[in-house]
Amino acid sequence: MALSFMSFTYASNGGGENVCTVYFPQQIGAELTYENYNAKDKLESTDRFKVVNFRENGDSTLIDVEAASFDKKGEEIYNSTFSYTCKDGVFRMSMESMMDPAMMEAYKDMEITMTQSDIVFPAEMNVGGALPDAEMNVTVTSNGMQVMEMNFKIVDRKVEAKESITTPAGTFDCFKLTQTTNMKMMFMNKTFTSVDWIVPNIGNVRSESYNNKGSLESYRILTNIK
**Angle made by CA atoms 105, 204, 73, in degrees to the nearest 5:** 40
Dist CA 168 CA 120 (whole Å): 27
Diameter over CA atoms, the chain? 53
Dist CA 66 CA 55 (whole Å): 15
Domain boundary assignment for the chain: 8-225
Number of H helices, E strands in the chain: 1, 16
34 exposed, middle or buried (CB, 10 Å; 0-12, 13-18, 19+)? buried
Dist CA 137 CA 165 (whole Å): 33
Return the SS3 of 101: helix
List CB contacts of 23: < 8 A, sequence separation 6 or more: 91, 93, 121, 198, 199, 200, 201, 202, 203, 204
Q: What pLDDT does 105 receive?
A: 67
Q: What pLDDT does 188 receive?
A: 85
Q: Which helix (H) or strand (E) holds 83?
A: strand 76-87
pLDDT tens-place values along the chain, 226 residues long = 222 223 333 322 333 345 789 999 989 999 999 999 999 999 999 999 999 998 888 888 899 999 999 999 999 988 888 899 998 889 998 877 666 666 666 777 788 888 888 899 998 899 999 999 999 988 888 888 888 888 989 999 999 999 999 999 999 999 999 999 998 987 888 899 999 999 999 999 999 999 989 999 999 999 999 9
Among the listed residues 119, 182, 184, 116, the one whose alpha carbon sits nearest the alpha carbon of residue 150: 184
Amino acid at 187: F
Q: Which helix (H) or strand (E) holds 23?
A: none
Q: What pLDDT does 44 receive?
A: 94
Amino acid at 86: C
Contact 159, 129 (CB under 8 A): yes
Dist CA 157 CA 121 (whole Å): 11
**Residue 217, strand partner residues:** none
Among the listed residues 1, 50, 62, the one whose alpha carbon sits nearest the alpha carbon of residue 25: 50
**Residue 37, strand partner residues:** 43, 219
Contact 146, 200 (CB under 8 A): no
Dist CA 23 CA 8 (whole Å): 11
CATH architecture of the domain with residue range 8-225: Beta Barrel (2.40)
